Chain A
């Protein structure tokens, strides 16, 4: 369909020339550098000073930084490109002109989506390259061939993550009367997913499964030097922690963020939490474990896009 590529190329050139896109990529690149440098200054030098052995290799040292920086960058770039995709043209009145041409309305959204997909891919790739390059220079680690494969996969999943947020944003942009509304709602949603839900999850877990280990340890009749819990008690504590983690995960899993974090952990082989002593996963095993989470992100992207289509084709152009 020629019209899809017409809309897509117009949109793509608008995006990559927009101040918003250039500034986001530039600002995040700087933030990444600062982040990596601070890791170097705090963690690595402290560890060296205390004589603690730090993990070696690229993945061991840099992966968690790369993963966490991209986990912030991807949603923001997705929202930045999606939040005015429809409402912006409606506000400027250009939507009337475009839709008075002999194109199908879904063509318009498809074109916008393809352009954003391309732009997001470029942005995430640049951000990842900056991260990896920065880590190599500042942390002094070089990725091996396998690391490179893992990183390439990680970039692909990060693009998917950004696209799922783009889907949420373009849906809001389709529904919203004004762009300011869709910006406010999508940013609020992002903040809720990123900050509020994890806190709520921990609180809920704490309420349902309070950890009683303190009482156990402080039970009268034991002398102060012998505070080590018995193996049975240890077992119980572990059980409680596991139950709490299950609740936290269940609640967190309503956010795309959670699924992306899981994917990043599996693909890059980052240990999930201190309690999780998981053997290193091969790339293949990582992909297999990441699969259900990938599916969730794909579903988020598809459902939001399909909903945008359905609303947009019926919508009044005002």
Chain B
């Protein structure tokens, strides 16, 4: 099998509703690397749910194609559904059933042999921390508990790939933390995790790769590191130098350097706005001027900076 667990080629979904049409997913080409934690980010209505439901065979594409774990998402949808754990938006649980009954039903639908079923269910309930409440009805569960039961449901297949649609919606910080730990653990077992969210800060730091989606298109995608350096080279580097000595002279020397767009005086250092990474040159100039540099660092743009940039870039305001 290829190194990608998901590949799409011109994947498109057009909804027809009341005379009009909505292009929910627009000629999408994207790939998800094996063993990654992939974040699909985008505002409400970006088409995330539509995309994930096409991948899991719940919605038929209008055109284009895709492969999940090497299986065609339309022709071999049943194979995909056999292999991929899916947590739908809203968790999709039977509220009137107990946690265990929910899992039993899904296990039976997956033809997990009866003798194995009991143990598998109990193990998974323990993994998501719901073993103690397995005989309680889901209607009495908190959001966090429902989310973990939803994940348990998806894990019954022992999936290589776990797809989760808005898994962190409505979670409190503690629930978020538990979720991150669980996802890291599942990923360390070698499972690929794909999750969608419209709130970046909740899951962004967890992801090794992201794609930012807007109006059915992927605006930008890649490894978080690569995207960060790409953004830095476009937006410039914010370099902070802490110095002892005549910082005024130092500042004017820096101003003359190639690539420097601005220098601002800080409390005990200088903020340099540059188009290139000029840390080495800065240190060289400092030593020429006999100025002692006690620290120098590049301020990386945060995921939020990234998000705001591309979100806005391809967004509704554009």
Chain A positions within 8 Å of B, measured between CB atoms, are 2-3, 6-7, 10, 14, 92-104, 314, 316-317
Contact A97 B93, CB 8 Å, known A6-B105, A317-B53: yes
Q: A92 touches which one: B58, B81, B95, B153 (CB < 8 A)?
A: B95
* Contact between A99 and B58, CB atoms less than 8 A apart: yes
Closest partner residue, chain B, to A104 (CB atom): B78
* Contact between B89 and A101, CB atoms less than 8 A apart: no
Main secondary structure of the interface of A (DSSP, over half): helix
The segment from B3-11, B107-115, B308-316 that touches chain A is B107-115
* Contact between A93 and B90, CB atoms less than 8 A apart: yes
A–B complex contacts, Cβ < 8 Å, 26 sampled:
A3-B111, A92-B94, A92-B95, A93-B91, A94-B92, A96-B53, A96-B88, A97-B86, A97-B88, A97-B93, A97-B106, A97-B150, A98-B109, A100-B57, A100-B58, A100-B81, A100-B84, A100-B86, A100-B88, A101-B106, A102-B79, A102-B81, A103-B109, A104-B78, A316-B58, A316-B59
B56 sits at the interface (CB 8 A)? yes
- Given contact pairs A94-B93, A102-B109, enumerate 11 new A-B contacts (beta carbons under 8 Å): A10-B105, A93-B91, A93-B92, A96-B53, A96-B92, A97-B106, A97-B150, A100-B57, A101-B81, A101-B109, A314-B60
Count residues of B near A (Cβ-Cβ below 8 Å). 30
A97 cross-chain contacts in B, Cβ below 8 A: 86, 88, 92-93, 106, 150, 153
B185 sits at the interface (CB 8 A)? no
Q: A100 touches which one: B56, B79, B96, B105 (CB < 8 A)?
A: B56
B15 cross-chain contacts in A, Cβ below 8 A: 316
B82 sits at the interface (CB 8 A)? yes
Closest partner residue, chain A, to B49 (CB atom): A318
* Contact between B81 and A317, CB atoms less than 8 A apart: no
Which of the listed residues B56, B88, B89, B96 has the most CB atoms from chain A within 10 Å of its own CB?
B88
Bound-state Cα–Cα, A101 to B59, Å? 14
A101 cross-chain contacts in B, Cβ below 8 A: 81, 106, 109-110
A99 cross-chain contacts in B, Cβ below 8 A: 57-58
Instruction: Report B111-158 residues with CB < 8 Å from chain A CB.
Output: 111, 150, 153
Bound-state Cα–Cα, A102 to B82, Å? 5
Contact A102 B88, CB 8 Å, known A14-B96, A94-B93, A96-B58: no
Closest partner residue, chain A, to B13 (CB atom): A316
A95 cross-chain contacts in B, Cβ below 8 A: 92
List 3 tightest A-B contacts by C-beta distance, closest first.
Answer: A97-B92, A96-B88, A102-B82
Bound-state Cα–Cα, A104 to B79, Å? 11
